[in-house]
């Protein structure tokens, strides 16, 4: 028995010892592989950081190029020099992609070249503007010589100005498409079309506040449409490159507003447009770059004060066009009722539960009409209070929101109470008429309750159960 068992135990011992002999070799290979992966990750992180630093340096070099005071250089030569600089950037991107087989470096160069488009169209807009102004120097007389030199472009003729615009568009359009194709290939046509349309706003030669405000608001509306309709769903637009493309869309409008703020007189319309742009960025663009619901709600919450300040600026400008005797009466509903509608509209695009936006809008609307009712007495104030209260109650039924219903009920009671006070004053003029109407109404109400008592009670119980089921 022992002789039969010992060889088996010996074989098992040999197998175990052999497995232990192989273990150090496997552990060493795994350690080497792990060390190799760590080294690769370090080099990959280093190259990524270097590319981003290089992109920032390239943008700074472009800004320095624009701000440098070129001596004895006319406007056309200044612009064509910047166009050549952009072409050089694109050529570097092509070289990295084709010669060095580095697609990441190519994306960096081509993406930065596409980012330069607002600077191109700002210069082209200055050339076009010079065709409609006899003395551009007079527009910037209050600025120092360096600012005047940077802001003023003088085209020798209309042919040279429009010819430069045509050449620039012919060159920049394919460069822009190449840049977006390297960053987000599937959405490149839409990104290029939207980016070019927004940059064309910089060519408009009119600089008054109303025109700039209209252009910027239309641009932000177009940007919001593309963002919600096309760019928020594809997975490619949620990568780092896609996020960069989406943020780039706001660059032309930022340049449009910055140019108006820096070079031209301040206006409430421009302030409103700037705040509207900030609200659009906070509510639409930035939340799309985060997966966390808390981060999305945080940025969308920042859009609330921006939107409120934006409409307040617009309302103050609109109030100036109202006759002086009516300005105090219209300012409250003019500011707060549209603001309440804005908050209600924001609720449908909120990342989380939009009830908080709707409730904020209802509070603003009801408090505004009540303040108007108590400070500006008259039938118009009470009528406005009743209309807003009915709209709030209707919204509460559609959305099954108890808070909205309670707010609307409070507003309706105050509005009706104000009207009933007028009715009571009217009745005091004729005592017999008030007694007759009161008696007749009492008899009719009693007759209705006598006949429909059960139906009325059942409806009230059904409504109570439905109201209890609401949020």
Task: Identify which has the larger pLDDT, 398 or 392.
Answer: 392
Question: Is residue 69 a part of any domain in this protein?
Answer: yes
Q: Quick one: how far is CA 443 from the chain centroid?
A: 59
Alpha carbon of 102 to those of 51, 91, 111, 360, 400: distances in Å?
Answer: 12, 14, 14, 51, 57
Question: Is residue 24 a part of any domain in this protein?
Answer: no
Q: Quick: pLDDT tens for 280-307.
A: 888 887 887 777 888 888 888 899 999 9
Asked if the model's pLDDT at residue 194 lies above 90, the reply is yes
Predicted confidence at residue 1, as pLDDT, reads: 39
In this prediction, residues 313-322 reach a mean pLDDT of: 84
Residues 189 and 178 in one domain: no
> Who's near 259: CB < 8 A, 6+ residues apart?
122, 202
Predicted confidence at residue 22, as pLDDT, reads: 45
Alpha carbon of 354 to those of 21, 279, 360: distances in Å?
Answer: 65, 16, 10
Asked if the model's pLDDT at residue 12 lies above 50, the reply is no
Residues 314 and 199 in one domain: yes
**Taking a C-beta distance cutoff of 8 angstroms, is the pair 220, 277 a contact?**
yes
> Who's near 286: CB < 8 A, 6+ residues apart?
299
DSSP conformation class of 352:
S
Residues 243 and 306 in one domain: yes
Question: Is residue 329 a part of any domain in this protein?
Answer: no
Give the structural domain span for 364.
336-419
Tokens of 34: 């792990």
Residues 120 and 207 in one domain: no
**Across all residues in the chain, what is the average pLDDT?**
78
Residues 161 and 190 in one domain: no
CA-based angle 354:356:360, to the nearest 5? 125
Residues 275 and 361 in one domain: no
Residues 91 and 215 in one domain: no
- The residue out of 149, 167, 183 marking a domain boundary is 183
Q: Quick: pLDDT tens for 242-276.
A: 888 888 898 999 889 888 887 777 788 888 888 98
- The residue out of 151, 166, 183 marking a domain boundary is 183
**Taking a C-beta distance cutoff of 8 angstroms, is the pair 252, 202 a contact?**
yes
pLDDT category of residue 308 using cuts at 50, 70 and 90: very high
Q: Can you point out the beta strands (E) in 195-310?
A: none
Question: Is residue 17 a part of any domain in this protein?
Answer: no
Residues 134 and 77 in one domain: yes
Question: Is residue 143 a part of any domain in this protein?
Answer: yes
Residues 231 and 313 in one domain: yes
Question: Is residue 15 a part of any domain in this protein?
Answer: no
Residues 210 and 304 in one domain: yes
Comparing 62-76, 94-108, 199-213, 351-365, the range with the smallest average pLDDT is 62-76
Return the number of other C-beta atoms located less than 10 Å from residue 31's C-beta: 10
Question: Is residue 326 a part of any domain in this protein?
Answer: no
Residues 272 and 245 in one domain: yes
**Taking a C-beta distance cutoff of 8 angstroms, is the pair 130, 77 a contact?**
no
Question: Is residue 226 a part of any domain in this protein?
Answer: yes
**H or E segment to which residue 212 belongs:** helix 209-226
- Its pTM stands at 0.68
In this prediction, residues 150-169 reach a mean pLDDT of: 86
Structural domain count of the chain: 4
- The residue out of 140, 166, 183 marking a domain boundary is 183
Residues 178 and 53 in one domain: yes
């Amino acid at each position: 028995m022992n002789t039969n068992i010992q060889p088996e135990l010996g074989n098992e011992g040999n197998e175990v010892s052999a497995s232990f002999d192989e273990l150090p070799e496997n552990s060493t290979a795994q350690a080497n592989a792990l060390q190799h992966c760590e080294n690769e990750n370090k080099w990959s992180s280093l190259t990524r950081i270097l590319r981003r630093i290089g992109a920032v340096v390239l943008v700074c070099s472009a800004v320095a190029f624009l701000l440098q005071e070129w001596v004895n250089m006319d406007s056309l030569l200044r612009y064509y020099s910047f166009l050549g600089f952009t072409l050089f950037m694109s050529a570097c991107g092509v070289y990295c992609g084709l010669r060095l087989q580095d697609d990441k470096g190519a994306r960096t160069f081509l993406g930065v070249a596409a980012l330069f488009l607002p600077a191109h169209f700002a210069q082209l807009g200055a050339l076009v503007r010079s065709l409609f102004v006899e003395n551009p120097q007079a527009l910037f007389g209050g600025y120092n010589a360096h600012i005047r030199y940077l802001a003023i472009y003088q085209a020798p003729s209309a042919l040279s100005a429009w010819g430069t615009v045509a050449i620039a568009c012919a060159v920049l359009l394919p460069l822009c498409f190449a840049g977006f194709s390297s960053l987000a290939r599937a959405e490149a046509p839409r990104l290029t079309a939207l980016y070019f349309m927004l940059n064309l706003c910089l060519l408009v030669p009119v600089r008054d506040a109303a025109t700039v405000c209209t252009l910027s608001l239309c641009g932000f509306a177009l940007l919001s449409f593309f963002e919600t309709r096309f760019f928020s769903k594809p997975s490619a637009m949620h990568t780092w490159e896609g996020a960069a493309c989406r943020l780039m869309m706001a660059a032309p409008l930022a340049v449009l507003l910055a140019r108006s703020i820096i070079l031209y007189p301040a206006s409430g319309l421009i302030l409103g447009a700037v705040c509207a742009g900030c609200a659009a960025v906070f509510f639409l663009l930035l939340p799309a770059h985060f997966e966390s619901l808390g981060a999305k709600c945080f940025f969308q919450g920042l859009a609330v004060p921006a939107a409120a300040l934006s409409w307040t600026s617009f309302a103050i400008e609109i109030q100036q066009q109202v006759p002086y005797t009516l300005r105090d009466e219209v300012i409250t509903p003019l500011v707060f009722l549209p603001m309440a509608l804005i908050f209600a509209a924001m609720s449908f695009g909120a990342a989380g539960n939009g009830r908080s936006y709707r409730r904020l809008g209802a509070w603003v609307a009801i408090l505004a009409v009540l303040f108007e009712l108590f400070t500006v007495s008259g039938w118009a104030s009470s009528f406005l209070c009743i209309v807003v209260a009915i709209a709030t109650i209707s919204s509460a039924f559609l959305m099954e929101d108890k808070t909205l219903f309670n707010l609307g009920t409070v507003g309706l009671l105050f509005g009706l109470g104000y009207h009933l006070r007028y009715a009571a004053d009217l009745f005091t003029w004729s005592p017999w008429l008030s007694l007759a109407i009161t008696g007749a109404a009492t008899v009719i109400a009693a007759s209705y309750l006598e006949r429909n008592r059960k139906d009325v009670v059942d409806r009230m119980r059904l409504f109570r159960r439905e109201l209890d089921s609401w949020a």
